[in-house]
């Protein structure tokens, strides 16, 4: 079934595909009316259920968004900082309650004042565009990611040094680059699999659907260093034989969408890529998301691009051999692609030397608005976490009891464990946490941990694609248990709660349902004194 729909979708191509048709027809808070719905059905020869199933999946196209004029960020950092209420109060001076909705993280965790309006992301402080420059810093002498791009033609001319494309793949392998979206999968293996796959068509897809609250590094790269991302995609395409690069940017980042489109126009108008490729072609497409966190999961993203309901696909097959429209596709995250220019210019060994043996290179780390110097830092892998938080970030402005690192599915690191961690994949995993995307959200001393857990279950409930029961139902049951305990004084049966976590962890198809138990267990372990009263029996914690 999906294969047939995939084939139909491919025939229309990306530019006028089913997703674009539905997203355009239902955008601007109007929802998908009957006229638009019928037009899509006729043009694409698909059933009404498919179009309704797709359109109802996305926040921006859903019935709940209709009639809303502004949207307050409901990400973790805006919640724990207590700023959500402040932003809403300021909006109530201008809008009626029913005109104010919520939106998933806007990537302004460094200021906690942003909201989304008709004209982009605005600051509740002055109701002007919120996209101000943010503070950046690094402890890498020659940073791979935040260094200025310089003259564009020179920047791209590195391609000339790799006429033998296999040499480029060798340098990438030597660099040991691991995917920066969270999973840390060796990047060269994806490229190699796609290169070796036989197909009439191949793709490169950049996952710019950075939905983890607390992370804004992809947003920064897209807006401040778009050519580093485009270069990485182009080079990947040249190695694998792909002629098309698709950048899927979340709709909550309208500024990034415009800037990347401009960067592509510039490449075309100055014939920079065309000149370097000497006849062969590579085209970029920008696709704007419509509000769905799960589209940051690679197979959900592919289904979204194909105009299907973006539920997670079972794997194998993996996207490197069966990706967009069923064709070999290297799909990776913004920061991963952005590293390639440095690797190919300076050499894979130089890149690897910036980090540790198993976590080579640098990592972009985002610090939220509670830090004295909130912003974006390029950090050498292996750097002590306390150096990142207290020296680079200047420490927090008020007492903090924990940091959630790596988004809603990342670990909850108690302040007492900071000294034991270094910033790399292994250290976090050894200590029972997850580095993930490395966005860091502070949990103030007076913020109830039970409220944070409720928020995490609520987030999963809202963003679950619904494909598997443990996540779809488990997230609702977990939220109910926690709300009952925090608001009505009901005790949570500890064994039942543990069974729920185990079912979600073992039975979920992807990292959303399967990953949620990690931060929940961290909290149960390290904040047992605060949480014990909500449960029926004593904890297994180590406070």
Which parts of this chain interact with ligand SF4 (CB under 6 A)?
294, 312, 464-468, 471-472, 508-510, 512-514
**N residues, the chain:** 543
CB of 192 to ligand SF4, least distance (A): 27
CB atoms inside a 10 Å sphere around CB 160: 9
Q: How many CA atoms lie within 13 A of 409 on its CB side?
A: 27
| 147's tokens | 């260094």
34 membership: H or E segment, kind and range: helix 34-44
Cβ proximity to ligand SF4: between 378 and 463 the closer is 463
**Cβ atoms of 343 and 356 closer than 8 Å:** no
The candidate with the shortest Cα–Cα distance to 81, out of 403, 406, 482, 521, is: 403
**Least distance CB 314 / ligand SF4 (angstroms):** 9
Work out the number of other CB atoms within 10 angstroms of the CB of residue 11: 10
The smaller minimum CB distance to ligand SF4, of residues 123 and 508, is found at 508
User: What radius of gyration, in Å, describes the C-alpha atoms of the chain?
Assistant: 23
Minimum Å distance from CB 467 to ligand SF4?
Answer: 4
Q: How far is the CB of 486 from ligand SF4 (least distance, A)?
A: 24
Composition of the chain by helix, strand, coil, percent to 5 = 50, 15, 35
244 vs 464, beta carbon nearer ligand SF4:
464
When the beta carbons of 215 and 510 are compared against ligand SF4, the nearer one is 510
211 vs 382 by CB, closer to ligand SF4: 211
H, E, C per residue of 176-242: CCECCCCCCCEHHHHHHHHHHCCCCCCEEEEEECCCCCCCCHHHHHHHHCHHHHHHHHHHHHHHHCC
Name which of 393 and 513 has its Cβ closer to ligand SF4: 513
Alpha carbon distances (Å) from 526 to 189, 454, 532, 539: 37, 17, 11, 10
Angle at 425 between CA 419 and CA 428, to 5 degrees: 35
Closest to ligand SF4 by CB, 250 vs 401, is 250
Q: Which is nearer to ligand SF4, 230 or 294 (CB)?
A: 294
Strand ranges across the sheet with 203-208: 283-288, 244-249, 203-208, 329-333
| Nearest approach, Cβ of residue 300 and ligand SF4 (Å) | 7
Q: Which is nearer to ligand SF4, 82 or 466 (CB)?
A: 466
Contacts of 63 (CB under 8 A, 6+ apart): 31, 56
Query: What is the smallest separation between the CB atom of 292 and ligand SF4, expressed in angstroms?
Result: 10
In this structure, the number of other CB atoms found within 10 A of the CB of residue 22 comes to: 25
240 vs 300, which CB is nearer to ligand SF4?
300
| 197 in Cβ contact with 328 (< 8 Å) | yes
Quote the CA–CA distance of 520 and 522 in Å, as a whole number: 5
Identify any residues that bridge with 208 across adjacent strands, giving them in sequence order: 249
In this complex, which beta carbon is closest to ligand SF4, that of residue 211 or of residue 375? Answer: 211
Cβ at position 227, least distance to ligand SF4 in Å: 33
Comparing CB distances to ligand SF4, the nearer of 305 and 402 is 305
Q: How far is the CB of 29 from ligand SF4 (least distance, A)?
A: 25
How far apart are CB 313 and ligand SF4 at their closest, in Å? 9
What's the CA gap between 264 and 48, in Å, rounded? 35
CB of 506 to ligand SF4, least distance (A): 11
Q: Smallest gap, in angstroms, from Cβ of residue 62 to ligand SF4?
A: 17
State the minimum distance, in angstroms, from the CB of residue 294 to ligand SF4: 5
Q: HSE of 278 in the Cβ direction (CA atoms, 13 Å)?
A: 4
Contact call for residues 265 and 256 (beta carbons, < 8 A):
no
Q: What is the spatial distance between Cα 338 and Cα 234, in angstroms, rounded to a whole number? A: 11
Reading the block at residue 221, the tokens are: 């790269």
d(CA 241, CA 257): 26
- Minimum CB distance to ligand SF4, residue 499 (Å): 17
Torsions phi, psi for 464 (to 5 deg): -55, 135
Looking at the Cβ atoms of 50 and 312, the one nearer to ligand SF4 is 312
Q: Give me the least distance between CB of 526 and ligand SF4, in Å please.
A: 25
């Amino acid at each position: 079934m999906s294969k047939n729909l995939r084939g139909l979708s491919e025939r229309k191509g990306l530019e006028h595909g089913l997703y674009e048709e539905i997203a355009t027809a239902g955008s601007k808070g109007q929802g998908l009316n009957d006229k638009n719905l019928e037009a899509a059905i006729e043009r694409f020869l698909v059933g009404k259920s498919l179009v309704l199933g797709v359109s109802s999946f996305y926040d921006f196209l859903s019935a709940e968004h209709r009639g809303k004029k502004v949207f307050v960020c409901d990400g973790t950092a805006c919640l724990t900082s207590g700023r959500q209420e402040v932003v809403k109060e300021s909006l109530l001076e201008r809008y009626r309650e029913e005109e104010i909705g919520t939106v998933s993280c806007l990537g302004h965790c460094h200021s906690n004042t942003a909201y989304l309006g008709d004209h982009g992301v605005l600051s509740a402080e002055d109701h002007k565009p919120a996209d101000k420059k943010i503070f950046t810093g690094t402890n890498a002498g020659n940073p791979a990611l935040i260094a200025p791009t310089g003259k564009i033609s020179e920047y791209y001319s590195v391609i000339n040094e790799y006429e033998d494309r296999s040499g480029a793949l060798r340098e990438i392998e030597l660099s040991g680059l691991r995917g920066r979206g969270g999973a840390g999968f060796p990047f060269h293996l994806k490229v190699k699999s796609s290169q070796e796959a036989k197909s009439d068509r191949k793709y490169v897809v950049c996952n710019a659907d950075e939905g983890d609250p607390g992370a804004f590094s992809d947003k920064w790269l897209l807006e401040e260093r778009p050519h580093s991302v485009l270069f990485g995609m182009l080079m990947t395409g040249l190695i694998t034989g792909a002629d098309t690069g698709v950048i899927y940017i979340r709709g909550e980042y309208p500024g990034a969408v415009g800037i990347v489109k401009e960067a592509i126009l510039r490449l075309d108008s100055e014939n920079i890529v065309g000149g370097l490729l000497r006849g062969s072609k590579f085209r970029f497409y920008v696709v704007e998301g419509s509000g769905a966190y799960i589209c940051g999961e690679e197979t959900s993203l592919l289904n979204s691009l194909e105009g299907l309901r973006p539920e997670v696909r079972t794997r194998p097959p993996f996207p490197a051999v069966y990706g967009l429209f069923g064709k070999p596709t290297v799909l990776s995250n913004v920061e991963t692609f952005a590293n390639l220019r440095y690797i190919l210019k300076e050499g894979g060994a130089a890149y690897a030397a910036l980090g540790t043996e198993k976590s080579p290179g640098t990592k972009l780390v985002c610090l939220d608005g509670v830090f004295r110097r909130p912003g974006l830092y390029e950090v050498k892998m292996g750097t002590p976490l306390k150096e990142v938080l207290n020296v680079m970030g200047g420490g927090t402005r008020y007492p903090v009891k924990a940091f959630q690192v790596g988004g809603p599915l990342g670990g909850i690191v108690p302040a007492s464990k900071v000294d034991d961690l270094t910033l790399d994949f292994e250290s976090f995993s050894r200590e029972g946490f997850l580095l993930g995307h490395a966005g860091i959200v502070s949990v103030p001393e007076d913020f109830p941990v039970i409220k944070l857990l409720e928020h995490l279950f609520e987030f999963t409930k809202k963003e679950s694609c619904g494909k598997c029961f443990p996540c779809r139902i488990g997230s609702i049951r977990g939220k109910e248990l926690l709300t009952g305990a925090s608001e009505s004084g009901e005790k949570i049966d500890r064994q039942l709660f543990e069974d729920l976590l185990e079912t979600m962890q073992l039975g979920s198809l992807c990292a959303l349902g399967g990953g949620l138990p990690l931060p929940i267990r961290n909290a149960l372990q390290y904040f047992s004194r605060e949480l014990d009263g909500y449960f029926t029996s004593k904890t297994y914690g180590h406070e």
